[in-house]
Amino acid sequence: MQGYIYPNEFELQWGLLIVLYPYVTGLVAGAFILASLERVFNVKEVQPTYRLALLTALAFLLVAPLPLLGHLGHPERSYEIFLTPNRQSAMAMFGFVYAWYLAVVLLLEVWFEWRRDMVLWAQQSTGVRHWVYTALTLGATDLSERSLRFDDKAGRWITIIGIPSAFLLHGYVGFIFGSVKANPWWSSVLMPVVFLFSAIVSGIALVLILYIITSLIRSRPVDMPCVDKLATFLFYAMIVDVSLEALDFIHRLYESEESIEILAQMVESRLFISLIVLQLVLGTLVPLVLLGFFSPALRTSGRSRGADELRRLVYLVVAILVEIGIFSIRWNVVVGGQLFSKSLRGLTVYKVELLGQEGLAITLALLALPLFILWGLVKLIPPWSEARPSDAAAH
């Protein structure tokens, strides 16, 4: 503790789990927006990651509400958000935004995308697998050309609805923080937009990591045009993200409101590692320089620098650094917003505990859980092109 804080501010109310929540929803929104690129904007190069991105979004979305539930003082009362939502409350909308995104967007899109394959798997397998796939088709086993065309059209429309929905999902999370006028570190109209672009950055980086690693595990060649394209998207998304953050930063400095002194103190002391070192240098500058140096699309000659293996490794390192950087952004927003007193006269400290309801152990478990779910989903409905059943076997 340093200076004066209101006595009730000694304990931080929102800890690691609430850092995790915007991080995970951001990954969902980002992965989905990446998938939409292929579907709606017809970016052919990233096609190999389309289905993987969808499953990634689904796996992380299933986990997204868990940190919130774990953090509630009375999780057994959480259903009240659905029964008697306070319509003035931004947070009350969580249940509805989440349900819309999960049920209407992601599950439907996955179902239409995999319906043909699931019907064929059901036909080609026996026993438990047969029944599981039959159940997953929901009885819609028509594989006529007309019906497959409908699948494709429906998937396309859902994606078109899905893009603004993904924006809504994560923009909304930003609004939860940005609309708190009591907190000068949070209160900013840019917050939802910054959240959104950092979400896109983290989603692209995550799919990039998962694609490279799963290719290695499956001993398949990494599709270099695909990862080059992903790296280019990552670069551009980061440029927008950094510009927005810089705008927010400059705006604050220039306006220089009464809170500026304590916020500057906080950044220089409490947030030095997480904001300056992790978010800015390691999570942003280093990746931007590496991408700018290695990405072929960003060079006037159009030729790639370095062998494929080197580039692949650089992309992997860059994506991991970016993920650390985005997690730091979430930390800096959520924890940073509670480290200074609303009296603007002092700073408090946050000590992460190892065990306990909001401890490091639970956080790591919740971070690993979507990867396990993704593993299960990949086993159940493989996203790989070579795993798709051929029509010939069906007839």
Partner 1 sequence: MADERHAAAADAGTPEGPPLDRRQFVQFALAACGTASPVLVALTRLPAAAAQEAAADSTAESYDPTGHLYGMGIDISRCIGCGRCVAACKAENDVPMDAHHFNTWVERYTITADGEVTVESPNGGMDGFPEPEHNSELRRTFFVPKLCNHCANPPCVQVCPVGATFTTRDGVVLVDEKYCIGCRYCIQACPYGVRWFHPTKRVAAKCTLCYHRLVKGKVPACVEVCPTGARIFGEVEARATPLARFMRFNDVQVLKPHLNTRPKVYYASLDGEVR
Strand partners for 2: 347
Strands (E), the chain: 2-3, 346-347
Q: Quote the least distance from Cβ 55 to partner 1, whole Å.
A: 30
Q: Using CA atoms in the order 330, 335, 336, 342, what is the torsion angle rounded to 10 degrees?
A: 140
Q: Alpha-carbon distance 333 to 29, whole Å? A: 18
Compare residues 112 and 186 and give the one whose CB is closer to partner 1. Answer: 186
DSSP structural state of residue 11: S
* Identity of the residue, 90 or 320, whose beta carbon is nearer to partner 1 in the bound complex: 90
Least distance (Å) from partner 1 to the CB of residue 15?
10
Residue with tokens 């509630």: 72
By beta-carbon proximity to partner 1, the closer residue of 96 and 372 is 96
Smallest separation (angstroms) from partner 1 to the CB of 347: 14
371 CA to centre of own chain? 13
The secondary structure of the chain in percent helix, strand, coil, rounded to multiples of 5, reads 75, 0, 25
Residues in the site for partner 1, rule: CB under 8 A?
A: 4-11, 13-14, 68, 71-75, 77-78, 80-81, 83-86, 88-92, 94, 176, 180-183, 337-338, 341-345
Nearer to partner 1 by C-beta: 12 or 316?
A: 12
> Residue 272 gets which letter from DSSP?
I
CB of 197 vs partner 1, minimal distance in Å: 24
Tokens matching residue 353? 């505990």
Q: At closest approach, how far in Å is the CB of 71 from partner 1? A: 8
Give the amino acid at 264.
Answer: A
Nearer to partner 1, 78 or 134 (CB): 78
The distance of closest approach from Cβ of residue 272 to partner 1 in the complex, given in angstroms and rounded to an integer, is 24
- Are the C-beta atoms of 362 and 70 separated by less than 8 Å? yes
CB closer to partner 1, 47 vs 183: 183
Token pair for residue 337?
Answer: 């917003």
